[in-house]
Amino acid sequence: MKNLLTDYVAKFITLTSEESEELVKSFNEVKIKKKQFITQPNFTSRHRNFVVKGAFRSYVVDDKGQEHTVQFAIENWWISDFNSFIYQHPATLFIVALEDSTLLQLDYEKEQELKKKSHKFETFFRIIAEKGLAFEHRRIIFNLTHSAEARYENFLLSFPHFVQRVPQYALASYLGMSVEFLSRIRNKKAIRKS
Amino acid sequence: MKNLLTDYVAKFITLTSEESEELVKSFNEVKIKKKQFITQPNFTSRHRNFVVKGAFRSYVVDDKGQEHTVQFAIENWWISDFNSFIYQHPATLFIVALEDSTLLQLDYEKEQELKKKSHKFETFFRIIAEKGLAFEHRRIIFNLTHSAEARYENFLLSFPHFVQRVPQYALASYLGMSVEFLSRIRNKKAIRKS
DNA sequence: GAATAAAATTGACGTAGGTCAAAAAAAATG
DNA sequence: CATTTTTTTTGACCTACGTCAATTTTATTC
């Protein structure tokens, strides 16, 4: 399972096989059953999680008890309560497995060691943070500038592999709309096509 | 003016005075007049911008011609079309000075050299990317979970120094509401207090 | 594979926040 | 400092999307 991570890392930095081995060995493989939580509010998130198999969803529950999806992750994506992880303070998010899954987890302290020890490893974490930031900027801009329907269409085009694997109610709340409204958008589309 | 940057950097990494000098010397000081643009759609953003004096606003214009504010920056903040800068492809945002301002600009190629040359500099850029990502996560979560009025109240509390310096129409669009609606929120509050 | 639970759909109705246009206030400019 | 431009406010009306409740469909479990 660790090959996936090796390949992923190789997209961003060039490592010798020893370096690559060292990095990947720092991760622990864990199996997570569907519906199992890996993060919960008030518990500090201790690892960075790389999905090698399965799917996850992170979400927050507001004062009215409504769930709002913050992120999805499938193979080759990271998922965490990032604020909790980097500042090592209590989480505000739930993260739950949507399928039986396998994660590679990197411990917070272990990550600090890796970054301190190696300039290349530091570069790797800098790059994934920058890419993450650029991604979230695009998301914020798109959300500010588009209607519910356009946001859904855009999600279909941008993340076709996610659509089949995440429940509608989770997708609706990720896109900032009610599950009923998303259902109507989908239905309208289906009618238009027939 | 460069002391501000020196102090800023010192919050995240410990540098010798030579290192500090080298980093800060890599930035160019530029004066920007109010209403002047430093980034425009279709032009690639060539620098990372650190505000030492003044205020800026980045925004996108949608298909209906409406402006949506993406970010504000005052002293000690960075501002850029981050997607344009890190991928060196054409920008989609406008960035304009809200006041007569002074920037420290770091050229893209110069930044790459700095990161390649020094592990510490690499760490610095990693940290600011991670902090930026954590910030945007908090923003996305807050926006998903709160009403227009709550978003305004939160902005007042979180960024009191910005409030006096940014126009209402820009703030309204940053918070994802119309300028008229923001005006009503403010007015309601004022009445409540009297 | 029947029973139960979870997710998605549908209809009726409600509301947060938008739009348009005009007026007032504030800021910029010569 | 009077004029022009930009920004904010106000009122009347509108709509995209939400809520609630009931039903249907799909998944899960024993």
A131-152 confidence digits (pLDDT tens): 999 999 999 999 999 999 999 9
Tens digit of pLDDT for each residue in B69-86?
A: 999 999 999 999 999 999
Identify nearest nucleotide to residue A191 by CA to C1′ distance: C9
B119 contacts on A by Cβ (under 8 Å): 119, 122
Mean pLDDT of chain A: 95
Say which nucleotide is closest to residue B190, CA to C1' distance: D9
* Residue A12: other Cβ atoms inside 10 A: 15
**Sign of dihedral through CA atoms B174, B175, B178, B180?**
negative
- Residue B1's pLDDT band (boundaries 50, 70, 90)? confident
pLDDT, residue A192, reads: 65
Pairs of residues, one from chain A and one from chain B, whose beta carbons lie less than 8 Å apart: 98
Give residue A63's pLDDT band: very low, low, confident or very high (50, 70, 90).
confident
Rounded percentage of chain B residues whose pLDDT exceeds 90:
92
Cα torsion through B118, A21, A103, A109, rounded to 10: -50
Instruction: State whether the beta carbon of B142 lies below 7 angstroms from any atom of strand C.
Output: no
Q: Who among B136, B141, B144 is closest to A133 (CB)?
A: B136
Mean pLDDT of chain B: 95
In whole angstroms, give the CA distance from residue B6 to residue B24.
7
> pLDDT by residue (tens digit) across A68-88?
999 999 999 999 999 999 999
Report d(CA B85, CA B82) in Å as an integer: 5
Would you give the DSSP letter of residue B100? S
Mean of pLDDT values over B125-141: 97
The reply to whether the CB atom of residue B182 sits less than 7 A from any atom in nucleic acid chain D is yes
Candidates B122, B137, B141; nearest CB to A123: B122
The three-point CA angle B136-B183-B75 to 5° equals: 45
What Rg value do the Cα atoms of chain A yield, rounded? 18
Residues of A in contact with B62 (CB under 8 A): 145-146
More confident residue, A190 or B165: B165
Tell me, what's the pLDDT at A2?
82
| Average pLDDT of span A97-121 | 97
pLDDT over 70 at B135, yes or no = yes
Asked whether residue B189 carries a pLDDT value surpassing 80, the answer given is no
CA angle A83/A84/A87 to nearest 5° reads 75
CA distance A159 to A13: 25
pLDDT at A191: 67
Instruction: List, in sequence order, the alpha helices (H) in chain A.
Output: 2-10, 17-25, 82-87, 108-117, 119-145, 148-158, 160-163, 168-174, 179-193
Interface with chain B: mutation pick from A115, A122, A131, A142, highest number of B CBs within 10 Å:
A122
Please count the other Cβ atoms lying within 10 Å of the Cβ belonging to residue B1. Answer: 12
Q: Which nucleotides of C are covered by protein (CB under 7 A)?
A: 7-12, 16-21, 28
Residue A190 has pLDDT above 90, yes or no: no
Q: Is pLDDT above 60 for B177?
A: yes
Cβ(B34)–Cβ(B99) under 8 Å? yes
Is A169 within 7 A of strand D by CB distance?
no
B40, burial (CB in 10 Å: exposed 0-12, middle 13-18, buried 19+): middle
Tell whether the torsion through CA atoms of A63, A36, A48 and B83 is positive or negative: negative
From CA A5, how far away is CA A48, in angstroms rounded?
13
Å: B143 CA to C17 C1': 15
The structure tokens listed for A64 are 């009215």
The Cα–Cα gap between A142 and B21 comes to 39
Q: Is the pLDDT of residue B188 over 90?
A: no
pLDDT recorded at residue B191:
67
Q: How far is B141 from chain A (nearest CA, A)?
A: 7
In Å, how far is B46's CA from the nearest CA of chain A?
16
Is residue B192 predicted with pLDDT exceeding 90?
Answer: no
Q: Which residues contact B162 (CB under 8 A, 6 or more apart)?
A: B55, B72, B74, B155
Taking CA–CA distances from B175, the nearest residue in chain A reads: A144
Residue A188 has pLDDT above 90, yes or no: no
What is the pLDDT, as a whole number, of residue A31?
A: 95
Q: Which residues of A fall below an 8 Å CB-CB distance to B?
A: 60, 62, 66, 68, 70, 82-83, 86-87, 92-93, 115, 119, 122-123, 125-126, 129-134, 136-141, 143-146, 173, 176
Sorted by where each begins, the domain ranges of chain A are 2-107
pLDDT of residue A165: 94
The answer to whether domain A2-107 has CATH 3.40.50.150 is no
Cβ of residue B179 near strand D, that is under 7 Å? yes
Does the structure show a pLDDT above 90 at A93? Answer: yes
Model pLDDT, residue B133 = 98
Of the two residues B191 and B94, the one the predictor is more confident about is: B94
HSE on the CB side for A31, CA within 13 Å?
A: 2
Domain covering B2-118, topology: Jelly Rolls (2.60.120)
Terminal Cα distance for chain A, rounded: 43
Nucleotide C25 C1' to residue B170 CA (A): 18
pLDDT of B185: 95
Residues B3-46: pLDDT tens digits? Answer: 999 999 999 999 999 999 999 999 999 999 999 999 999 999 99
